[in-house]
Chains A and B, each alone.
Chain A
């Protein structure tokens, strides 16, 4: 038997998409291209995908996982050779007017693969070799994305690995080692891999007035936009006219700041609550799941989703460094929107087929 789709989740998704379209429309004039029509098409396609995928039985996803993962890896390799370059990143397939970003879809495939792998195991904690296997599944995909190079999307793979290890269960000493390892890698990266502008971004979070017109400019403008919104906002489409167009990446990374300025604390809270509701419904799907695969799948999607919301809003609100991570369902971009809907559709399959329990 099949349960009805989760109306609360649909409501949350529709609310976020609606707010996004309002924002994209307001931003169009500033950015100089008409964003609304394209994003509206993607939103409709996303919703449809979500509903269709929710009807597919969960065990099919478990069986399809290796194929999806293999296809995901293949597309990540292919894009390195045949992809289109945008601002230094070779990460898009161009098909006529359509461009697809395989790194967004490969993440869903990776989540499926990790969940299928963990779902087949019994309840005992992961052995060291198994843990390494789980981590490798994620890191191979993330490594390919890092080669594009796309730092923002690469980072969104990490919560999948961490959540998988956490759910799989590692002994306490392993977590101690992981934290130490992270610190060592972090310090090493700071001294070798990270470029000066990236270090400056981190330092700017610690000291916002460090370089207000240079590296700190974007975050400062973002904080001004959000703060100037006040309680009720300045109104959609008019905003603070002098201000909106000083904000960079208004339709992508900093879209939330535009919304927060236009609608104030009322709108910003409402949007944040919609994300909280969405996350809560993902949690409910996990809670009613009676298969290990379904539970882990829902939680992995939730972990990735929450990570991306927190990191993006942390950046917009000046709490975290600028990383180029977008706000799921809200920032402009078809691949991100569609892949998020795919992930949510699979979570809905967990919800709808909870008593089938194959």
Chain B
């Protein structure tokens, strides 16, 4: 490499480049001076008139329709009040103004303003469901409180009111965790909390949008910077029959309990009503602590969905399943008889039949018709506890039915193994005697009983109860029952309603078959009549059955908490619902209104 090469021409070109760069720097400096010194006051004014707001665009939640096209869940337009806390020059005055409107109290407003997150452009919803007077007051004071804005929103409305509160469900505010895990979620967003609202939440939920606008110092909108439109959620048709649901609600009246009706052919749920009910719309807006406390401390527990979460001893309603078990396993024949004297001593303890005088000689069909307890004590002894448990579980008792609805209770089928593992006490042989009449460590829900009876009604298929039709809901399990055994048991259940000594004769005018059940809450002492018990110790009353007799289309399970006798209380209630269901002869095909 040469020493002292001639760099002259390159140096000259370099100088030209550098001078150009400095010239451009000078131009930039002049521009800065122009913006900051010459035009400074102009831009400062612009800055004051330059407020960017992020307005949430509410998405419409999908409607829920019943199988006949009645709207179960709707949306009503409403006015909401937004506050942009960072824009406020006198925040305290504004909060007082909002509190004075009557939409929220000052203390909780202050707390919420102080706890808001870092996303400071976002508004806070400080009032929901404003009435016209409140809207007018905000509008007329708009220039005093430009950081307040009235926007349109939606409020969930349930046209059938209390009758569908549990099955359709209600909404809740998104939780802190959900807010943290999904950015951009508005804290005032409501999502499904229970029932179908929760089950189909993703389907029903739309996509919330937002609009970025520039507003002037007095809150007037100057222009839209960006808009992400909202998308509505999808409408959903469910299998519920709202009319029948309403009749069930009226039939139960003030009594606590549950009515579940399903179509035994495929498991579509027609009625799922829990009493006492509540107003689900309370959860569509801000819920006051007083209202919440009143609901949660009510001794009658209106929020509990008794159809899915209420677990009761099934009483005599499990007798047809045990009869079928003994027939199938060859432990008894249809003509096997038991002499019922009103009581029997087993394992050293006396066990009584519900009928003091006894039933005399009883065969299988008659044991169901008259619900003879002694017959089933003996039959249970032949089956043994493990076989009884297996058969009850085969019919879906003691486990969730797969509706997909939230918080379904599983219930319980007690066995010696369960006693050792869970209860930690030894199993008493006498407990198996109780189990054979649906007492003791056996707990089922109304929907489990409806499903089990659907399997009897449809010829031995265990269907999956469902409110939304989907591919997995079509699943059913064939129990592989002997048709002649099934026919004998079904005959017995017909006699319950139509036989001379049937326990549900109040239904005799209808083509119904079924079984009553009277589940003891407290063990009766010798010589005490059940009518003398305190109300909270009264028996639970059951009736589970189907109609019509040939090709059954509906299975109804009724349970009345502390109602008394299954035949005297539950059966007449079921009668009202059966009668209404049978009147609606021309039911549309089952998949017509869906989606």
Contact = CB atoms under 8 A, between A and B. Distances in A.
Nearest to A123: B6
Given A212-B223, A217-B225, A275-B25, A228 B14 contact: no
B10 A231 contact: no
A283 B50 contact: no
B107 interface: no
Contacts of B1: 358
Contacts of A296: 10
Contacts of A357: 3
B13 A279 contact: no
A42 interface: no
A231 B22 CA distance: 23
Contacts of B52: 245-246
A243 B120 contact: no
Contact of B28 (A123, A231, A241, A313): A313
Given A212-B223, A213-B225, A242-B48, A32 B119 contact: yes
B14 A286 contact: yes
A58 B170 CA distance: 75
Given A166-B17, A299-B14, A272 B29 contact: yes
B580 interface: no
A264 B46 contact: no
Contacts of B223: 212-213
Interface string A298-320: 01001100100110011001010
B17 A276 contact: no
B31 interface: yes
Given A260-B36, A269-B32, A240 B47 contact: yes
Given A169-B9, A169-B13, A292-B10, A302 B31 contact: no
Contacts of A358: 1
A91 interface: no
B224 A242 contact: no
B36 A231 contact: yes
Given A269-B32, A303-B17, A230 B51 contact: no
Interface string A310-336: 100110010100000000000000000
Interface residues of A, number: 59
Contacts of A291: 5
Interface stretch (A17-25, A195-203, A219-227): A219-227
Nearest to A276: B25
A83 interface: no
A290 interface: yes
> Which DSSP category, helix, strand, loop or mixed, fits chain A's interface?
helix
- Residues of B in contact with A, size category: 35 or more
Interface in B211-247: 213-214, 222-226
A330 to B, nearest CB: 14
A123 B13 contact: no
A268 B36 CA distance: 9
B524 to A, nearest CB: 68
B105 interface: no
A292 B7 contact: yes
Interface string A217-260: 10001011111111100000000111101100000000000001
B40 A230 contact: yes
Contact of B50 (A224, A279, A317): A224
B11 A287 contact: yes
A295 B35 CA distance: 37
Nearest to B45: A228
B10 A295 contact: yes
B39 interface: yes
B203 interface: no
B213 to A, nearest CB: 8
Contact of A283 (B18, B48, B213): B18
A223 B21 contact: no
B225 A166 contact: no
A310 B25 contact: yes
Contact of B5 (A167, A226, A245, A292): A292
Contacts of B47: 224-225, 227-228, 240, 242-243
B376 to A, nearest CB: 69
B5 to A, nearest CB: 6
B32 A231 contact: no
A306 B29 CA distance: 14
Given A213-B224, A224-B46, A272 B87 contact: no
Contacts of B119: 32
A265 interface: yes
Contacts of B21: 279, 302-303, 306, 310
A217 to B, nearest CB: 5
Given A212-B223, A310-B24, A265 B33 contact: yes
A115 to B, nearest CB: 11
| List of 9 A-B pairs having minimum Cβ-Cβ separation, nearest first | A227-B43, A213-B223, A306-B21, A228-B47, A230-B40, A265-B36, A246-B52, A227-B35, A317-B31
Given A226-B36, A228-B46, 20 more contacts: A122-B5, A123-B7, A123-B10, A163-B17, A167-B14, A212-B223, A213-B224, A214-B226, A227-B40, A230-B36, A242-B47, A242-B48, A242-B86, A245-B120, A264-B36, A275-B25, A292-B5, A295-B7, A317-B32, A317-B35
Interface of A: 29, 32, 122-123, 163, 166-167, 169, 212-214, 217, 221, 223-231, 240-243, 245-246, 260, 264-265, 268-269, 272, 275-276, 279-280, 283, 286-287, 289-292, 295-296, 299, 302-303, 306, 309-310, 313-314, 317, 319, 357-358
